[in-house]
Amino acid sequence: MRITKLGVVFLCAAALIGCAHDLPDAETGKSSASVGAGSLANELYLSSQAFLKARENGDAIGMAKAVARRPVVIEESLELSEEFLLWRDLTERMKMQALNMAKDDASTLAIVEDILSREPPKESELGAFGNNIAGILGSGKKPAAKQALRIDAGDKVEIFHWVRKARGSIVYVESVEGSGLVLVIQDEKQHEICRDDSIHGVLICRWRSKENGRAKIIIQNAGPAPTRALLISAQ
């Protein structure tokens, strides 16, 4: 359910949710989703990889730099949307991780605070929006290109995603670490073409369809509690 429109967004300092993991084996080649929602999903994923590497190395400044490259998820109309609010909540978690990593070194902490105070890149800076977005809900009423979801424990969400022959598709989901979410992509014959169950809260599938039709995006909550997730899909 959409929240009440609250007016123009004042962009907050960015931080990052989730950690990185290897791309799923089902990826069959480089996705052509290079603009719009596709590039937004890709940049969010790449920044999460950089964040994880820095965190594993105890590098607070590297964590902050990864956070700073994470584009803000915002509607073109600049509405204070559910998607933006979820992005803000999730990124605040990672902002606190970077600050906590730096807290025992005053000079490092000052650098981290400076980096995190910078305005995040806007998704509109990543490429054009429009015709490349082809995901739709089963109802056919709301684009699945970018939406906030709430999934109860043991429940799942199923969304249809139109695909074109030989054209790359990308589906990106992020939530809190340990949420228990599983991302599955099925073709029209219900054959599984991709699965990602990373514990880090960042899930991604990229693939190329062999024919025109529609795939099914399945997001399962295998965790013990309800969770919110941000979904971005494009081709």
Amino acid 232: pLDDT: 93
pLDDT, tens digit, for every residue of 81-118? 888 888 889 999 999 999 999 999 999 999 999 999 99
**What sign does the dihedral 73-87-150-167 (CA atoms) show?**
positive
Residue 145, pLDDT > 50, answer yes
- pLDDT of res. 166: 78
Mean of pLDDT values over 157-167: 89
Band (pLDDT 50/70/90 cuts) for residue 191 is: very high
The first and second tokens of residue 178, run together, are 């340990």
pTM of the model: 0.76
What average pLDDT score do residues 129-144 get?
A: 38
Reported as a single tens digit per residue, the pLDDT across 16-48 is: 333 333 333 333 223 333 346 788 899 999 999
Query: Does the pLDDT value for residue 1 go beyond 70?
Result: no
- Residue 50 phi/psi, 5° resolution? -65, -40
127 pLDDT band, cuts 50/70/90, is low
Q: What is the mean pLDDT of residues 137-151?
A: 63
Neighbour-count burial of 60, counting CB atoms closer than 10 A to its CB (0-12 exposed, 13-18 middle, 19+ buried): buried
The yes-or-no verdict on residue 229 having pLDDT over 80 is: yes
The winner for highest mean pLDDT among 8-12, 72-76, 173-177 is 173-177
Cα→Cα distances 141→20, 149, 150, Å: 32, 16, 18
The confidence score (pLDDT) of residue 150 equals 95
Whose tokens are 């992020």? That residue is 174
Could you tell me which residue, 195 or 12, shows the higher pLDDT? 195
Percent of the residues in the chain that have a pLDDT greater than 70, as a whole number: 75
